[in-house]
Amino acid sequence: MRLFVPTTEIDLNRQTLTNQDETDLLLWLKTLLDHGDLNFVVIHLGVVEKLAGTDPRAIQTWLDRLSGHLDNRVACVLISGRGTPSYLPKGRPFLPYSLVAKYILEQPSKYHLNKILYAGFGKTLME
C-alpha cells in the first residue's frame, strides 16, 4: 500500500490550526498529486473542524476548496471515531475511524481498504 501521512512539519495534532497550517497541508497534498497517482484523501473530521469549525456550510466550503485544490481528481473521505455527526454535509462520504484503521494498522489489506473507501461513495471496486 502506498499511504502518505503529513510530515512532522505539518503538525495536525495541535489544539488549534492556523491558516498557515492549512496552506502547508494543501501544498503537501498538491505535491503528492503532482508526483503520484492518488485516488483518495482520507482526512479526520477533527482536522476539518479545527480548520473550518462545525457549521455544515463552513465544512462544505472547506471541502469544496480542498477538492478544487486537488483539481477534483481525488476523492475525499472523512473519518472519525465519534460516529457520523448530524452537521456533516449531506452526501459527504464518511467512514468510522476504526474501520479504516483496521485495514491500515491491524490487518493491512489494500483490497479491503479500497473496498471500504469506494463503499463510502456507494460504489464497488468494479465500477
Q: Is residue 4 one of the residues assigned to a domain?
A: no
Cell of 106: 491491524
Q: Is residue 67 one of the residues assigned to a domain?
A: yes
Q: What three-state secondary structure class fits 19?
A: helix
Which whole number is the average pLDDT over 73-85?
Answer: 87
For residue 49, name the pLDDT band (cuts at 50, 70, 90).
very high
Q: Is residue 50 one of the residues assigned to a domain?
A: yes
In terms of C-beta density within 10 A (0-12 exposed, 13-18 middle, 19 or more buried), how is residue 117 classed?
A: buried
**pLDDT score of 124:** 44
Which whole number is the average pLDDT over 5-25?
Answer: 90
pTM of the shown model: 0.86
Q: Is residue 64 one of the residues assigned to a domain?
A: yes
Q: Is residue 6 one of the residues assigned to a domain?
A: no
Number of domains comprising the chain: 1
For 19-33, write each residue's pLDDT tens digit: 999 999 999 998 888
Share of the chain above pLDDT 90, in %: 43
Q: Is residue 31 one of the residues assigned to a domain?
A: yes
Which whole number is the average pLDDT over 21-50?
Answer: 89
Rounded Cα gap, residues 62 and 53, in angstroms: 10
Domain that holds residue 97: 19-119
pLDDT above 90 for 35: no
Write out the DSSP string of 69-94: HTTT-SEEEEEESS---TTSPTT--E
Residues, the chain, total?
Answer: 127
Q: Is residue 108 one of the residues assigned to a domain?
A: yes
Q: Is residue 76 one of the residues assigned to a domain?
A: yes
